[in-house]
A and B are shown apart, each in its own frame.
Chain A
């Protein structure tokens, strides 16, 4: 096959697969599974080929909307360093998750629907990765949201799942509104929606710094929504209602990373914007990082701990975009995070299945001996996530914190504090789930998952360990190597150890319930409650307004008003019926006079 076609096959193969599964094989579980796995494997293979062949850095386009002279939106693919790396990450992890799902979803009643939605997601995500213009990226951005909605709501008969899906889509939509405004502003100023075109016309933007700041921050709103930054982070923990492979693929590795990817894509624009833009981005990322870490320390659902951890790490990535001189720094953390977080989620899925869909960590325990492979992968993942030296997370996280130190001292301490929290809650998870005595019958009788689930885990453990090493990372990224001050290393190491010790002190002996109870964190800083209240209030307010309008303006003024006006006119005209003959004669005569006057003299 002509190598020029590779990107198009990568992009559209999953769409074809989704259509085939949905329309031709709606009841065949096994066939749907095979088609899904084979398609993702194909895209993975082609992505690696594209990655390994640097000569294939062409951009190609299909004209889609063409209004000559005014407006043109092509469907285009761009293969540069950034998109190749992301292609490899997305397709590799997707393939492993597809394989894992075959084991996890066994016995589920909606397997073809699940695989079709996953294929649709893969298509949408690859669309975002390969997009060469803002409009196309926005279309696929929304498509990813749709896929996420479908997948979160996979167990649609459960109310909580249906609500979570709706929340995810709606909260994303709020961010996307800002995103769209930002796109429009950039388009208005530069006259182009192509990323290349916008970068070429930067000079038009830099003339108006306030405008550029506003546009960049509005575009960042898309990231706030999609990458679950504060205050739009509330959907991510609730998205855990979806099946665990979905959580690992979408809400850990790829979809939520799309926000960071988009910022890396327009990094030159962000660099050209006034300092305040990146300051705002940095602070939002830092606050998210720390607050999510706080909330994670008190969660009892294994998946929710990992969800808040994801939000926290996304905060790191956003800080990385803001403080580093190149987008590759944040992308490096995205790269390593994708592997170990996906693996951690798949391990959680493995535990959940082994305990017959039990997700409360206080019903687990003592699984170290019963599920050794899973435990090993969890250890690897935890060490990577907490930034232990010689694991992948260490390299990427330390780089970001080093730049944060250089940019703003407060943010440095915030991110270091978040590292402490990360260490604490991850080791808490490990101790509670795997150490001590089993706390329930299911935990007693748990055993290791079948190979179809454990092999992807082990495969992911390798990059979780190794993906950070410079000799590997240099093939993927062009990373700067700044002089990292010693305080950074010491602070992070101290955070890691302190968190470990704290967690061990509280949880290593295997308590039966959490000895620490901080309601503020356990209730997620009451942000969800606040949003509920706000929506109820706004909804209620709008309902009152609508009701008032309907009752008084439409019913009262228009409908009744029209009727009353007619009635009143009739009543007034009735007064002319005096019964008095001469009154009639008078009206007659006066009317004739007026008529004559107008006929004769005008």
Chain B
């Protein structure tokens, strides 16, 4: 059951990812990206990472993509006009891509951990928010505070960057 679910969700995710890259209209790309994120959240749930799955939807699909669409609308971007193909760039990009895929498959084949089934969990279907929260606040408290500062800095930066004239 889980396997079939996995394959279906993966297919959806990968297909929508391809759509993101392939569509000309940026709005279409953004929508496909949302679908991809939702599928990814589902994959997280299959991996028993419930908290992270919810966070994925809330933050990524909810906040980040909204921001993306907002900007696309703000800039009033039309569908991208076709320009002449740059063969060199195309070849280079595809070469790097191909190389990466080959490398990936090689690594996965030789990694012993990759051939193992997932170990069984002590409990399933259990909410893991408390456990994640414990790990976060006890082991990673400082990074957590730093992340807060980072967000503050990002906010300030955005405010400054959007000024009409950089005085």
Contacts and interface: CB of A to CB of B under 8 A. Distances in A.
B139 interface: no
B96 to A, nearest CB: 4
B103 interface: yes
Interface string A566-592: 000000000000000011001001100
Interface string B81-108: 0000000010011011001100100110
Interface in B109-164: none
A596 B104 CA distance: 10
A580 to B, nearest CB: 8
Contact of B107 (A583, A586, A590, A600): A600
Nearest to A589: B96
Given A600-B107, A601-B106, A582 B100 contact: no
A594 to B, nearest CB: 9
A597 interface: yes
Given A600-B107, A601-B106, A586 B99 contact: no
Given A589-B100, A593-B99, A593-B100, A582 B89 contact: yes
A97 B93 CA distance: 100
A593 to B, nearest CB: 5
A331 B57 CA distance: 121
A600 B108 CA distance: 11
A589 B106 CA distance: 18
A600 B99 CA distance: 14
A469 B92 CA distance: 109
Contact of A593 (B89, B93, B103): B103
Interface residues of B, number: 10
B106 A593 contact: no
A498 B130 CA distance: 140
Nearest to B103: A596
A586 B92 CA distance: 7
Contact of B89 (A583, A597, A601): A583
Nearest to A591: B96
Contacts of B89: 582-583, 586
A493 B103 CA distance: 111
A503 B107 CA distance: 113
A288 B107 CA distance: 92
Contacts of A589: 96, 100
B111 to A, nearest CB: 10
Nearest to B104: A596
A409 B89 CA distance: 97
B32 to A, nearest CB: 21
Given A583-B89, A586-B89, A593 B96 contact: yes
A586 B96 contact: yes
A584 to B, nearest CB: 12
A593 B101 CA distance: 10
Contacts of A583: 89
Contacts of A601: 106
B95 to A, nearest CB: 8
Contacts of B93: 582, 586
A405 B41 CA distance: 124
Contacts of A596: 103
Contacts of A582: 89, 93
B96 A590 contact: yes
Nearest to B99: A593
B128 to A, nearest CB: 33
Contacts of B103: 593, 596-597, 600
A582 B99 CA distance: 17
Contacts of B100: 589, 593
A600 B92 CA distance: 23
A600 B102 CA distance: 13
Contacts of A597: 103
Nearest to A590: B96
B133 to A, nearest CB: 35
A593 B100 CA distance: 6
Interface string A479-511: 000000000000000000000000000000000
Contacts of B106: 600-601
B4 to A, nearest CB: 32
Contacts of A593: 96, 99-100, 103
Contacts of A600: 103, 106-107
16 contacts: A582-B89, A582-B93, A583-B89, A586-B92, A586-B96, A589-B96, A590-B95, A590-B96, A590-B99, A593-B96, A593-B100, A593-B103, A597-B103, A600-B103, A600-B107, A601-B106
Given A586-B89, A590-B92, A601-B106, 19 more contacts: A582-B89, A582-B93, A583-B89, A586-B92, A586-B93, A586-B96, A589-B96, A589-B100, A590-B95, A590-B96, A590-B99, A593-B96, A593-B99, A593-B100, A593-B103, A596-B103, A597-B103, A600-B106, A600-B107
Interface of B: 89, 92-93, 95-96, 99-100, 103, 106-107
**What 10 A-B pairs come out closest when comparing CB atoms?**
A589-B96, A593-B99, A586-B92, A590-B96, A596-B103, A593-B100, A586-B96, A600-B107, A586-B93, A593-B96
